[in-house]
Structure 1
Amino acid sequence: MSSSETIRNIYLSLHAAYGNRDWWPAVDGFEVIVGAILTQNTNWKNVEKAIKNLKTADVMTPIKLHELPREQLAELIRPAGYYNIKAARLKNLLDWMVENYSAGMESISALPDWQLREELLAVKGVGPETADSIMLYAFNRPIFVVDAYTARVFGRHMLIDEYADYHQIQELVQSSIEPDLKIYNEFHALIVEVGKNHCKPRPKCQGCPLEHLPHQVEEV
């Protein structure tokens, strides 16, 4: 079985097991952008608490967050962890939105894929995973998001070696599955699901939807 066939089988097996995940849970694209920063190095439940704080404080707009003192922003997003760092990163992203596009989501959405990604990556604190999450979930661009779960699952199924970087893993998926917004959206969320339930640092292979596919790690 080729790598491309294995990747397609992984997607189909996970989708059969978990169904549509309907990720990202947000009311609009701007909330996705905020969540993409807040979810760095934490779980989504903590992000939800931070976003609830922002909404309760009635500052969940680009302009209001941009004008909010960083110390106040940090306190509101405290549940997401690393709140001072994340407040600074969120401020950097808001500066980019306001100073270049007057905080207009439509203006940003009009950018071609290459420019949008290039500008996002130029914002301090925005790496490839965060940039691609924003592109996929906030601006509906068919780009596959790679995270630690992806590397772990693909590594254990012998699709990559330990030295594979973000863009090599991304290219592996995008060369195996034609650009498709819905599939890329679902595939990332499905990998997160199997990563949380089975493909943990100490794997739980029994009952995994991918157990039937060749893999290196047995259940511990």
Structure 2
Amino acid sequence: MRKPSPLQIYQLLYKVYGPQYWWPADKPFEVMVGAILTQNTSWTNVEMAINNLKAKKMLHYASIASSNHEQLAEVIRPSGFFNQKSDLLQRFSLFYMNQGKTSGLKKWPKSTLRKQLIDISGIGPETADSILLYALDKPVFVVDAYTRRIFTRLGLLPDKIDYDGIQNYFQQRLAPSLLMFQEYHALIVEHAKRHCRPKPVCDNCPLHTICATARQDSMPSENSLTA
């Protein structure tokens, strides 16, 4: 059976789930804060932390950079790892201001800016790429645990492949479309939550017929053949 392309999978997911309208935020800086806060936690917890920042009128780079560390940590407590994230948010806010805020960062070449973001201790490739894609309108494919899970189960990626390897797989096969990359990542998250969970829910899965794992699981076992 011919393997489906990343574009075909995108089209299938989009047809089933429709546009996801990511990233949910009012301003680019809020996207950046959300990308940092979502590390190692659920989006529900991030929303609580962001709502706390808004209620305290602290969802602003100058407010975060100049705030008391312990106070900021308490405000973002729902996001988990709040002491580390408080420190990271303050360092990132200073970087953001020093580089000319959103308009200044958008002027940077994508590869240079990505390296600068990753050089900030606490920001890894996924967080950096989320900021690039959703806050700064740079077409880069965001990879997360859901991406790895879905596409290894589909039989399109090997089990042992790093972040850059997965990202290259997509970026070498897809045109660098900002809107597609934004939607694709959101659709992957939606599909993982509905069907491709740690214990997969294969009933009515839109990718069931092209999934290598589903085909393997549906094959009769050796015991059943010899019974």
Partner of 2:63: 64
Give the drift of 1:203. 0.7
Structural RMSD (CA): 1.4
Secondary structure in 2 matching 1:216: helix
Give the drift of 1:158. 0.8
Q: Is the 8 A contact 2:65 2:91 kept in 1?
A: no
Partner of 1:111: 108
Which letter does structure 2 place at the counterpart of 1:15?
Y
Alignment partner for residue 198 of structure 2, among 191, 197, 201?
Answer: 201
Give the drift of 1:2. 6.0
Tell me if 1:140 matches 2:134: no
Partner of 2:213: 216
Partner of 1:92: 91
Partner of 1:83: 82
> What is the alpha-carbon distance in structure 1 between the residues aligned to residue 28 and residue 207 of structure 2?
32
Partner of 1:124: 121
Which letter does structure 2 place at the counterpart of 1:34?
V
Give the drift of 1:147. 0.2
Q: Deviations over 1:184-217 (max 9, x none)?
A: 0000000000101111111111111111213214
Give the drift of 1:133. 0.1
Tell me if 1:180 matches 2:177: yes
> What is the alpha-carbon distance in structure 1 between the residues aligned to residue 123 and residue 175 of structure 2?
26
> What is the alpha-carbon distance in structure 1 between the residues aligned to residue 49 and residue 187 of structure 2?
24
Give the drift of 1:117. 0.4
> What is the alpha-carbon distance in structure 2 between the residues aligned to residue 171 and residue 205 of structure 1?
28
Q: Deviations over 1:112-170 (max 9, x none)?
A: 11111011000000000000000000000110000000000010011111111101111
Partner of 1:191: 188
> What is the alpha-carbon distance in structure 2 between the residues aligned to residue 2 and residue 189 of structure 1?
26
Secondary structure in 1 matching 2:208: coil
> What is the alpha-carbon distance in structure 2 between the residues aligned to residue 14 and residue 109 of structure 1?
30
Q: Which has the larger radius of gyration?
A: 2
Gaps in structure 2 of 5+ consecutive residues: 219-227
Gaps in structure 1 of 5+ consecutive residues: none
Which letter does structure 2 place at the counterpart of 1:29?
P
Q: Percent identity?
A: 44
Misfit runs of 4+, over 6 Å? none
* TM superposition score normalised by structure 1: 0.94
Q: Would you say how many aligned residue pairs link Structure 1 and Structure 2? A: 216
Q: Deviations over 1:79-119 (max 9, x none)?
A: 11111121122122123223x325x2211111111111011
Q: Deviations over 1:26-55 (max 9, x none)?
A: 001000000001011111111111001001
Partner of 1:31: 30
Partner of 1:74: 73
Matches within 5 A, 1:14-53: 14-53=13-52
Partner of 2:99: 101
> What is the alpha-carbon distance in structure 1 between the residues aligned to residue 5 and residue 146 of structure 2?
17
